[in-house]
Amino acid sequence: MTQAITEEQCRVYEELVQKRSVLLLGAAGTGKSEFIRHVCKNMAGKVAVAAPTAMAAMNLAVGAVTIHSLFQIPPSATGYFDADLFALKSRAAEVLKSINYLVVDEISMVRPDLFDLMENLARRARGSDNFFGGLCLLLVGDFHQLPPVIRSDEFELFRRHYGHSNAFLFDAKSLRDAPLQAFALTKIFRQKSSHFVKILGAVSGGKLCGRMLTEINGRALNGNAPPKESLIITPYRAAAERKNEEELDALPGIIHEYVGRRVGTFRSIADDELPSPERLLLKEGATVVFTCNGAGWVNGSMGTVRRLGKNGVEVLLRGRKKAIPVGSHSWTHVLPNGGECVETGSYGQIPLRLGYAMTVHRTQGKTCDSIVIQRDRRFFAHGQLYVALSRARSLDSIHLSEKISSSDAMADGRVLAYCENLRLGGVAGKPFVHNQ
């Protein structure tokens, strides 16, 4: 962590030093992911870091991997409702035995069936009946952000096993009576204006109306062009891809194609979960976003392609005067094994994507300088509008391609009840306090 650790972060750190598991919540921009980086750097003992999606894992950039690959869980079209059906793979067993801490970021997106399977596998691997076989857990996220992906054909299964079709990690059976204490980070770093923070609070609570809605809608472009270097954020992947293609097509010059190289574990990662596309199409003058940290840039840095070479490109970063060379980058997938880390796969590609537009899903975890929220048809999941708006540092850096309505700020009633329960002193594994 480059910044000084705050008092509230310090308290959580102490809990972990004492080997007590923590559920760490906090609004967007409260430094949750920065805190994870701090834990990885400073904690004595072996730490494994995972996230529900490859994108979220790569945003963390601390050797984080997906939950599926850490636990060697195969993809399943029918969920993970019966943990005993899933074998404990030897590599996962070795990893789970060898670590002291398990950190999971973006837990709002973790399904309870997956979490229960993780817990079961950890117990089996460590030969202990304690919660996660006695591993110390740091679960981090914000339930007001993106929810788990649950398909409509799975609703009935979730209702049967977890009582709700809109199930969350806090519904996991293994969390009931688990030794897990909830903490919240309250100081927001990404946004400086307390007024903007208040508006974001209204959006995350699903109560965007009146003056606050008018104020956000005051950011509508009304046909005017947005600042040239704004990132378009949309709920729809097809819309983001279309916008990126359109902008690339509109540029003069010849398209260059760079082909990525997958090895080992990376062979099974879905195309849209790769950090940079397998077929990266670029032209001179294209706006790009970096997808890893490197010499002179960080994951999320924006720039313009200045020159295209056979094996690399030159990019002029925003705010800089001189273009820098960018060659192929190798993302490795490593797992701790005994005393060392073993590489299980790699992906080589120029660490860039077209940077005109991105889905909300892809922006989760990021901080952006200037954004255009492109509503397209509508926001369709709870937390989407909140995630999109909270990427910006200030209200002035937000632009709307069209006005939004109060129904775009969707919040899940179960999340609101759970968080309110925690605020009133409830425990982490009990979602249903209002009925008791």
Binding site for Mg ion (CB under 5 A): 32-33, 365
Q: Which residue shows structure tokens 């096993």?
A: 161
Q: In terms of CB distance, is 244 or 390 closer to ligand ATP?
A: 390
Q: Which does 351 bind (CB under 5 to 8 A by kind): Mg ion, ligand ATP, none?
A: none
Query: Which of these, 220, 227, 228, 260, lies nearest to 374 by C-alpha position?
Result: 220
Closest approach, Cβ 366 to Mg ion, in A, equals 9
Cα–Cα distance measured from residue 359 to residue 238, given in angstroms and rounded to the nearest whole number: 9
**Does 330 interact with ligand ATP (rule: CB under 6 A)?**
no
**Strand, helix or coil for residue 322:** coil
Q: Which does 34 bind (CB under 5 to 8 A by kind): Mg ion, ligand ATP, none?
A: ligand ATP
Q: Can you say how many angstroms the Cα of residue 295 is from the centroid of all Cα atoms in its chain?
A: 23
Query: Which of these, 165, 145, 221, lies nearest to 419 by C-alpha position?
Result: 145
DSSP 27: -
Give me the helix-helix angle, 112-126 and 90-98, nearest 10°. Answer: 80
Check if the beta carbon of residue 356 is closer than 8 Å to that of residue 295: no
Cα–Cα distance measured from residue 198 to residue 196, given in angstroms and rounded to the nearest whole number: 5
Closest approach, Cβ 333 to Mg ion, in A, equals 21
Q: Which stretch binds ligand ATP (CB under 6 A): 22-30, 43-51, 204-212, 338-346?
A: 22-30
Cα–Cα distance measured from residue 191 to residue 175, given in angstroms and rounded to the nearest whole number: 33
Residue partners of 246: CB distance under 8 A and separation at least 6: none
Residue partners of 191: CB distance under 8 A and separation at least 6: 29, 197, 200, 390, 392, 393, 394
Q: In terms of CB distance, is 28 or 280 closer to Mg ion?
A: 28
Query: Which of these, 52, 48, 140, 125, lies nearest to 83 by C-alpha position?
Result: 125
Cα–Cα distance measured from residue 331 to residue 292, given in angstroms and rounded to the nearest whole number: 9
Of the residues 30, 230, 299, 401, which one makes contact with ligand ATP according to CB under 6 A: 30
Q: Which stretch binds ligand ATP (CB under 6 A): 23-31, 42-50, 289-297, 349-357?
A: 23-31
**Does 29 interact with ligand ATP (rule: CB under 6 A)?**
yes
Which residue is at the shortest CB distance from Mg ion? 33
Q: Which stretch binds ligand ATP (CB under 6 A): 25-33, 216-224, 297-305, 351-359?
A: 25-33
**Does 189 interact with ligand ATP (rule: CB under 6 A)?**
yes
Closest approach, Cβ 365 to ligand ATP, in A, equals 4
Closest approach, Cβ 145 to ligand ATP, in A, equals 6
Q: Which does 142 bind (CB under 5 to 8 A by kind): Mg ion, ligand ATP, none?
A: ligand ATP
Closest approach, Cβ 143 to ligand ATP, in A, equals 11
Sites for ligand ATP among residues 121-150 (CB under 6 A): 142
Instruction: Return phi, psi of residue 120, to 5°.
Output: -65, -45
Q: Which stretch binds ligand ATP (CB under 6 A): 30-38, 86-94, 170-178, 397-405?
A: 30-38
**Does 230 interact with ligand ATP (rule: CB under 6 A)?**
no
Query: Where do contacts with ligand ATP occur on this chain (CB under 6 A)?
Result: 3, 6, 26, 28-34, 142, 189-190, 365, 367
